Structure 1
Amino acid sequence: MKRYFFTLAVLLLPFFSMAQLAVTFMPETQGRTLEGLMMARIMNGETQRRSVFMVIRVTEANAGKIAETHTAAFDLNPGMNSIPPSAAYNAAWNFGQHASATVVRQSHYFPEGEYEYCYELYENEKNKPGVLIAEQCFNYFLEPFSPLMLTEPYDGDQICEKRPTFFWQPMLPAIPGMMYRLSLVEVKPGQARAEALHYNMPVIQQINIPTPMLFYPPLSRELAEGKRYAWQVLATRNEMILARSEIWDFEVKCLDSTVKKPVESFRNIEDLARGNFYVAEGGLYFAVDNAHAPGDLVYSIQSISNPSEKIGKLPARKLATGRNQVEILLDEVKGIKDGNYYLLTVKLPNGETKHLRFMYKDEHE
């Protein structure tokens, strides 16, 4: 009976040893680059330090072997451990002989695919082959991230809002726990916007933004007219940066941003939307090209100054085939107030949507 228990204990010893060692790895974020693979962490539940080395193997369901490496020996202390930089960056990678592996070898980025990431931990003993003490694999279907793109305020725009709302396209695929971080700085005369973002004191430094938009923080000082500002958004998960947007800039300019035009002059809606600010003196006057059949102009007006404010029924406007000159007299619309800011949204006949921010100025005031 004693011999039976001794034999059972010997057989179960490797199991108990492996149970005390665990690899923590997040394939959705760390499994996108070769460098990310080295960010895995090892939990050592034992009370003693031990010398180990690690084998990392990545395969793809269709292509097979992608990459494999054997790290140098390093010490594994009790508790949570990171792979030491010396062991991580001196590891030599061995790649498969196919197109996908070539892409990874040249760029260090994994293309789209169904991957298995395997971590093998070996006891390091001099003059002896390594003994496997832990093994853990992770499976993940990797999709490339879409670019993180800013949308509003537009690059090079002139705006009149001193507390604007910022918009950008969400990064896909969505990663659980992913947040956005927005930075806004003033750009000094003659200064590059990247330099400004790196060195200047931020006007806004907002972290942990859950959605792809940010209302102007109430505690941040408002923007100053005549000054230029640069902004950038980062996608993060915990402390890891997943993606960076481009750096865009805009200028706060209310006066002379749109020259007053006589009623008979109609600017193209494309030009007005690109300028993104308009002083509506008495009404909105713009031109729309319609290559389709005649129909109604689909549009709406929302208050920016007071989002809860209700705008009365808007006058109906027809579009003929060809070039149309549209006139919308705002002094007849209930709820429109002198000096307030509004957003006009126009759905063009070709399906595009244009947005125009404007300030209403009562001609009779």
Structure 2
Amino acid sequence: MIRVIFTALFTCLCIIVKAQLTIAFMPEVQGRTIDGVWKARIGNNGARQTVNLKIIITEASTGTVLTIQTPPFELLPGVNNIPANAAYNASVAFANNKLATVISQSGFFPAGDYDYCFQLYEGASHNGSLSGDQCFNYNLEPFSSLQLIQPYDGDKICDKRPAFSWQPLIPAVNGVEYRMILVEVKDGQQPVEAIRTNLAIINQRNIPMPLQLYPSIANELAVGKKYAWQVAAYRNDLILAESEIWEFNIDCEKDSTSASREAFRNIEDLAKGNFYIARGELLFAFNNTYEATTLQYTIRCLTKPEQQVTKLPKVKVTRGSNQVVIDLSDNKSFTDSYFYIMNVKLPDGEEKQLRFIYKNAE
């Protein structure tokens, strides 16, 4: 009986020792690249000790794709980063399969169902006893390209303090934030060169949603000048995706007829974007080859789904080209900076969806 009790106590002690080392790892962010794997952190609830780390990464349909073995390093009490020296001198062994070949060539993990297993061994020897073992599973999907929405590429606008919008990162990642850069494009410059070298007019980090209003402290944009902008999505200083670089001009010398035509974008183009800014009204255009009719549409709130949208105005459409104006400015159903989605059934039966951010009319 005494022997059984001592055995049980020893087993519990081993469990407690192993529980002193824990791994903090975010596979949805850090598990996308080999470099990201090194961002894992090790929690040590015990005394200072020497360990070495083995990382085994497997994919459900392929098997093991990558094994990493570090040299020994010191763990201090508290939360530890994996030392840069240990990462630099680690041995990295890729498996003999196509997926591993892609990873070794690019440094990125393609879409797949991955397990990331971290094994910590005591002492300087790779044959030491296992003191920590933790696995993380994640079905990794590639991020969609980060799409800019407004101001549109090549636009000529008169708003000297425009709002900027873009499509949110897909698939969504908890805690993702955005950074937006706006620069002036000098004569003879390409937008890429301008973004890389020119002093930023806006260089805003920690943007929580896919919308950036023009900062009140920044000088307004100048008529006749060209500007370029770009957005990046990141979490914990790790860039997850970057948009293309778009450019636009500040041009207030257009005649009213031209300005009116440019205000109406084809609904086909608007439906491809994710968010459109409706400043008190929705404007879009489409061609109707059928008889005149009343447009069938509904709008619902995405920010607060329980909020009902009612008393929408009736819209008559004619045969041929239509420039539709849906005035929302006096409708109490709409709240400034809330997100909405409009479902439209066109006369030919085709259905379109337009997501938009409602802004109070100026």
Distance in 2 (CA, whole Å) between partners of 1:103 and 1:327 is: 49
1:211 offset after TM fit, Å? Answer: 1.7
Amino acid at match of 1:214: Q
Equivalent residue for 1:246, pick from 221, 244, 260: 244
Q: Which moved more, 1:287-296 or 1:54-63?
A: 287-296
Distance in 2 (CA, whole Å) between partners of 1:189 and 1:159 is: 19
Residue in 2 aligned with 1:358? none
Residue in 2 aligned with 1:304? none
Residue in 2 aligned with 1:166? 164
1:103 aligns with 2:102: yes
Residue in 2 aligned with 1:89? 88
TM-score, normalised relative to structure 2: 0.72
Q: Per-residue CA shift, 1:213-267, capped at 9, x if unaligned? A: 12222222211111111111111223222111111111101114x5868xxxx99
Q: Per-residue CA shift, 1:91-135, capped at 9, x if unaligned? A: 333333443333323322222222211100112336x82221111
Residue in 1 aligned with 2:61? 62
Distance in 1 (CA, whole Å) between partners of 2:208 and 2:165 is: 12
Q: Which runs of 5+ in 1 are unaligned?
A: 275-285, 300-312, 329-333, 336-344, 355-365
1:7 offset after TM fit, Å? Answer: 4.6
Query: Relative to 1, partners in 2 of residues 1:288 and 1:38: Cα closer, same or farther, differing over 3 Å?
Result: closer
Q: Is the 8 A contact 1:123 1:133 kept in 2?
A: yes
Q: Is the 8 A contact 2:264 2:323 kept in 1?
A: no
Q: Is the 8 A contact 2:71 2:124 kept in 1?
A: no
In the TM superposition, what are the counterparts of 1:36-55 in structure 2 within 5 Å?
Answer: 36-48=36-48, 50-55=49-54
Q: Tell me, what secondary structure is at the counterpart of 2:202?
A: strand
TM-score, normalised relative to structure 1: 0.72
1:351 offset after TM fit, Å? Answer: 5.6
Distance in 2 (CA, whole Å) between partners of 1:175 and 1:326 is: 38
1:166 offset after TM fit, Å? Answer: 0.8
Query: Relative to 1, partners in 2 of residues 1:179 and 1:325: Cα closer, same or farther, differing over 3 Å?
Result: closer
Residue in 2 aligned with 1:341? none
Residue in 1 aligned with 2:210? 212
Residue in 1 aligned with 2:143? 145
Q: Is the 8 A contact 2:155 2:247 kept in 1?
A: yes
Distance in 2 (CA, whole Å) between partners of 1:327 and 1:136 is: 58
Amino acid at match of 1:195: E
Query: Relative to 1, partners in 2 of residues 1:287 and 1:174: Cα closer, same or farther, differing over 3 Å?
Result: closer
Q: Which moved more, 1:23-32 or 1:182-191?
A: 182-191
Residue in 2 aligned with 1:18? 18
Amino acid at match of 1:119: F
Equivalent residue for 1:223, pick from 221, 224, 234: 221
1:293 offset after TM fit, Å? Answer: 5.1
Q: Per-residue CA shift, 1:37-86, capped at 9, x if unaligned? A: 111111122232x2221110112223222221111222222222211223
Identity across aligned pairs (percent)? Answer: 44
Residue in 1 aligned with 2:306? none
Amino acid at match of 1:217: P
Aligned length: 311
Distance in 2 (CA, whole Å) between partners of 1:289 and 1:4 is: 84
1:174 offset after TM fit, Å? Answer: 0.9
**Which structure's CA Rg is the greater one?**
1
Distance in 1 (CA, whole Å) between partners of 2:172 and 2:75 is: 34
Q: Is the 8 A contact 2:295 2:314 kept in 1?
A: no
Amino acid at match of 1:103: V
1:150 offset after TM fit, Å? Answer: 0.5
Distance in 1 (CA, whole Å) between partners of 2:198 and 2:93 is: 44
